[in-house]
Structure 1
Amino acid sequence: MAEMKTLAATVRSGTGKGAARSVRREGRIPAVLYGGGEAPTPLSLDKKSTTQLIFAGHFLTTIFELDIDGKKERAIPRDYQLDVVRDFPIHVDFLRLKPGSRLKVNVPVHFINQETSPGLKRGGALNIVYHSIEMTVPADAIPEAVTADLGGMDFNDSLHISQIPLPEGCRPTNPDKNFTVASLAPPAGGAEEAAPAAEAAPKGKK
């Protein structure tokens, strides 16, 4: 399950590009909290702590308890923008999480048991179709990843979504109900060397 973290925020006055630039001049990051049947709330965030959280990874699947001037709001980041030149955050969008709500997220796929795959041990190539899978998930139980077991895969085998255990309440959005997540191809030179030629017939009598 995705972890929850705390992030302090303050309500900012004004909206639009001018107000956002003013927030950045103060050394903070503009943000907005929307959804949940409420009006959007413009926020500002501490630049140092927010930047560290974004570049630490898993930012878009982390649930935050936003401390907004003393009021607590559960939310998940839906997007962030980086400066195109200096590569630091310049805006963050948060979605409110209400009890019982669901949302779409991209859940990473972790592949295990490569070392016991017959096809990989004999030089096969793993073709990963999906490194992450878009799913609808409960807002209070967002999985950090799903696990795909490669242990039994041989040449020309495919691993389908039906073979991957999914957390309770999580459903892929792909309309194909049993789409391929990965496949295993033989080496480029062919599956295996042909078997040795049959033994020569016994020599005749002199």
Structure 2
Amino acid sequence: MSDQLTLAAETRDRVGKGASRALRRDGRVPAVIYGQNKNPASIHLEEKALVKALSTGHFMNTVVMVNGERTLPKDVHFHPVSDRPVHVDFLRISAHATVTVAVPVVFVDEEEAPGLTKGGVLNVVRHELELICDASEIPSEIKISLAGRDIGDSIHISDVTLPQGTESAIEDRDFTIATLIAPSAMKAEAQEQFEEEAALAEAASAEAAAEAEAEAAEDEAAAEGDDEEKTGE
């Protein structure tokens, strides 16, 4: 189960871009707490403390106590250049609320996988699983054993034993989490993807050229029309 985190926060007296920029210059990160039919609370956190919490690797699936309120992080916005956190959204939850969280997948027993010892490659389709569970029992990770897995094998959600009281948020299909493939298959797959993307790009380019040609023809027709009107005058 994920360890509970605690973050101290202060109330934001002012909101808006200018106020948020001023807070960030002072090493603070604007945030909001919402949910449970209460008014949203505008707050700000110490950036260093937030970065430390983010570095745990399971911040998004951990209950965070913010000034005595039990919350679950729902979104963290980062600066596109510096990658610094610039805003956080927290959802208020009760002690045993049913929540949906993204939990990271960890593969174990690699040395016991014949497919890997033969030189196969583990192709991870999903690095996280979207799970529904009790807020007090959020798993920090889901371990999946590769023991006995050979080249050509696929691991589906039905192959995974989830913690008691936890279920997959996706119930309409037995989705793939990972596959064991031969290196040559990976190259072929990459080549196929490249060719598909190239074909799409070529089609888009041809469509753009056709549109440009049509626009040019329309402009030319309009220009000829103007010339005829002037001649008639």
* Interval containing the TM-score (normalised by the shorter chain): 0.7 to 0.9
Residue 147 of structure 2 aligns to a residue whose secondary structure is coil
Q: 2 CA distance for matches of 1:82 and 1:152?
A: 41
Please tell me whether residue 47 in structure 1 is matched to residue 39 in structure 2: no
Q: Kindly state the Cα deviation for residue 15 of structure 1 after the two structures are TM-superposed.
A: 2.7
Gap regions ≥5 residues in structure 1: 190-206
1:34-113 alignment to 2 at 5 Å? 34-67=34-67, 72-113=68-109
Q: Kindly state the Cα deviation for residue 136 of structure 1 after the two structures are TM-superposed.
A: 1.8
Residue of structure 2 in register with 1:193 after alignment = none
CA contact (8 A) 1:13 1:19 kept: no
Q: What letter matches 2:39 in structure 1?
A: A
**Alignment length (residue pairs):** 185
- 48-57 or 138-147: bigger deviation: 48-57
Residue 137 of structure 2 aligns to a residue whose secondary structure is coil
Residue 126 of structure 2 aligns to a residue whose secondary structure is coil
Residue 94 of structure 2 aligns to a residue whose secondary structure is coil
Q: Kindly state the Cα deviation for residue 23 of structure 1 after the two structures are TM-superposed.
A: 2.6
1:152 aligned residue (148, 169, 174): 148
1:160–1:20 Cα change, 3 Å: same
Residue of structure 1 in register with 2:199 after alignment = none
Q: 1 CA distance for matches of 2:183 and 2:29?
A: 50
Q: 2 CA distance for matches of 1:172 and 1:30?
A: 32
Identity of aligned residues (%): 41
CA contact (8 A) 1:60 1:78 kept: yes
Q: Kindly state the Cα deviation for residue 78 of structure 1 after the two structures are TM-superposed.
A: 1.2
> Relative to total residues, which structure has the larger strand share, 1 or 2?
1
Please tell me whether residue 166 in structure 1 is matched to residue 162 in structure 2: yes
Q: 2 CA distance for matches of 1:59 and 1:129?
A: 22
Q: Kindly state the Cα deviation for residue 36 of structure 1 after the two structures are TM-superposed.
A: 1.7
CA contact (8 A) 1:10 1:44 kept: yes
Residue of structure 2 in register with 1:201 after alignment = none
Q: 1 CA distance for matches of 2:184 and 2:113?
A: 18
Gap regions ≥5 residues in structure 2: 186-233
1:94-133 alignment to 2 at 5 Å? 94-133=90-129
Please give the TM-score of this superposition, normalised by the length of structure 2. Answer: 0.72
Q: 2 CA distance for matches of 1:116 and 1:110?
A: 15
Q: Kindly state the Cα deviation for residue 187 of structure 1 after the two structures are TM-superposed.
A: 4.7
> Relative to total residues, which structure has the larger helix share, 1 or 2?
2
1:120–1:98 Cα change, 3 Å: same
Highest CA radius of gyration, 1 or 2?
2
Residue 44 of structure 2 aligns to a residue whose secondary structure is strand
Please give the TM-score of this superposition, normalised by the length of structure 1. Answer: 0.81
